[in-house]
Amino acid sequence: MIKSFSSDRSSDDAVSSKSPIVYVRRLIMAMAIATLFLMALGSATRVMNAGLSCPDWPLCYGEFVPTEQMNLQVFLEWFHRLVASSMGLATIMLTGLTLWFRQSLPKWVPWFGVGALILVMIQGALGAFTVTELLRFDIVTAHLGTGLLFFSTLTAGASALFPYRPTGNSGKLPWVSLVTAVLIYAQSILGGLVASQWALHQCLANSNQLCAVMNNHLFGVIPVCISVLGVGLWSWRSQTIDFAGKRFGLIAVGLLLVQVAIGFATYKLRLQVEPLTVAHQSVGALLLGSMIVITVLGFRSQDYLTNSSIRLSNNIDTL
């Protein structure tokens, strides 16, 4: 399991201006927030039909800033590329920091940095193919899926490095929350297929094949709801889950309710309200992130208690 570097918030405060792990963790958290914004920006670009507003890649109309052609749609696509490029540079910085300070970091952190860099390179290539292949639905969906995977990786890394001292063993909860996270991710991919093929519109136009895609996404809500509600109730009622775990369990349930309400409104309004569509994807990503936090904190509690038992046993043996 992923082991944390620090388990006490007070120790983090003492070294906040000196420890490399604090810089790495803050950078990862900032990148996770920026990735969430980038995915929302990408969703806005799609729903505004701005995905091909810049017909070439990586420049836009052969320029870094296409001032003559600039309008709302061109701006959305251009700004999306600009933020994506900034994320690429931030990932290179993260990888460099983890390698440079590898002696002061947990052994898994440099590998984490390299993995993040590989993901962002794949994402950049998919972004290019999205334009050059004229928004082919499978590439658009893969672009979303890789973006969610990158966001999930950053969230897991930040959760593993955050100061945390468990109060009890979480039992099977992290495994259940991990399965729930996988279900949310799969449901998000189904949603990406619905969006990239405009399946709702096509279904209303009597396209039976795309109705199947739409229905799969609708039926996928059921296992996700059951799993998220189960994790939230489990974390809240458990006597061994600390306040952080209970809090994220409640957050996940709240996000689920918001997501279902937004999805219902989006369906009823036939995707005619663009901010609702963007919010639907963004809240889904937040729900996925909250479940990943619960998973990582749960595994950390098991590692911490196991290591504490080993240290106690060793101390008894030396007496």
pLDDT tens, residue by residue, 231-262? 999 988 877 777 777 899 999 999 999 999 99
Distance CA 184, CA 190 (A): 10
Q: Name which of 46, 63, 47, 243 is nearest 130 in CA terms.
A: 46
Residues 219 and 103 in one domain: no
* Residue 219 within a domain: yes
* Confidence class for position 7, pLDDT limits 50, 70, 90: very low
Residues 31 and 129 in one domain: yes
Distance CA 205, CA 222 (A): 26
Residues 270 and 303 in one domain: yes
pLDDT at 139: 96
Percent of the chain whose pLDDT exceeds 70? 88
Residues 92 and 188 in one domain: no
- Is 15 in a helix, a strand, or coil? coil
* Residue 294 within a domain: yes
pLDDT greater than 50 at residue 307? yes
pLDDT at 10: 38
* Residue 297 within a domain: yes
* Residue 2 within a domain: no
Residues 18 and 147 in one domain: yes
CB 48 within 8 A of CB 72: yes
* Residue 315 within a domain: no
CB 129 within 8 A of CB 83: no
Q: Which residue has the tokens 């080993």?
A: 310
- 310-314 long-range contacts (CB < 8 A, ≥24 apart) are none
From 163, 181, 210, the end of a domain falls on: 163
Q: Angle formed by the axes of helices 274-318 and 173-196, to 10°?
A: 160
Other C-beta atoms closer than 10 Å to the C-beta of 275 total: 10
Supply the range of the domain harboring residue 184. 167-310
Task: Spell out the alpha helix ranges (H) of the chain.
Answer: 9-14, 20-47, 72-100, 108-132, 137-161, 173-196, 199-204, 208-219, 221-237, 243-268, 274-318
CB 151 within 8 A of CB 287: no
Residues 150 and 178 in one domain: no
Q: Name which of 137, 156, 133 is nearest 35 in CA terms.
A: 156
pLDDT at 304: 57
* Residue 317 within a domain: no
DSSP symbols for 96-126: HHHHHTGGGS-THHHHHHHHHHHHHHHHHHH
Alpha carbon distance, N-terminus to C-terminus of the chain: 30
Of the listed ranges 39-43, 177-181, 260-264, 309-313, the least confidently predicted one is 309-313
Distance CA 83, CA 85 (A): 5
Classify burial at 264, counting beta carbons within 10 Å of its beta carbon; exposed 0-12, middle 13-18, buried 19 or more. exposed
pLDDT, mean of residues 127-151: 95
* Confidence class for position 303, pLDDT limits 50, 70, 90: low
**Nearby residues of 3 by Cβ (< 8 Å), 6 or more positions away:** 106, 108, 160, 300, 303, 307
pLDDT greater than 70 at residue 308? no
Average pLDDT over the chain reads 87
Number of compact structural domains in the chain = 2
From 119, 145, 163, the end of a domain falls on: 163
Residues 147 and 173 in one domain: no
The per-residue pLDDT for range 193-221, each reduced to its tens digit, is 988 888 887 887 776 778 888 889 999 99
Residues 278 and 213 in one domain: yes
**Could you give phi then psi for residue 149, rounded to 5 degrees?**
-65, -40
DSSP symbols for 34-82: HHHHHHHHHHHHHHTT-TTSS-SSSSBTTBSS-TTT-SHHHHHHHHHHH
**Could you give phi then psi for residue 8, rounded to 5 degrees?**
-135, 125
Residues 209 and 247 in one domain: yes
Residues 103 and 184 in one domain: no
CB 262 within 8 A of CB 203: no
Residues 133 and 202 in one domain: no
The per-residue pLDDT for range 9-30, each reduced to its tens digit, is 434 444 445 689 999 999 999 9
From 120, 147, 163, the end of a domain falls on: 163
* Residue 105 within a domain: yes
pLDDT greater than 50 at residue 115? yes
The per-residue pLDDT for range 176-195, each reduced to its tens digit, is 999 999 999 999 999 999 88
Residues 194 and 211 in one domain: yes
CB 54 within 8 A of CB 77: yes
* Residue 304 within a domain: yes
Quote the tokens at residue 315. 């101390």
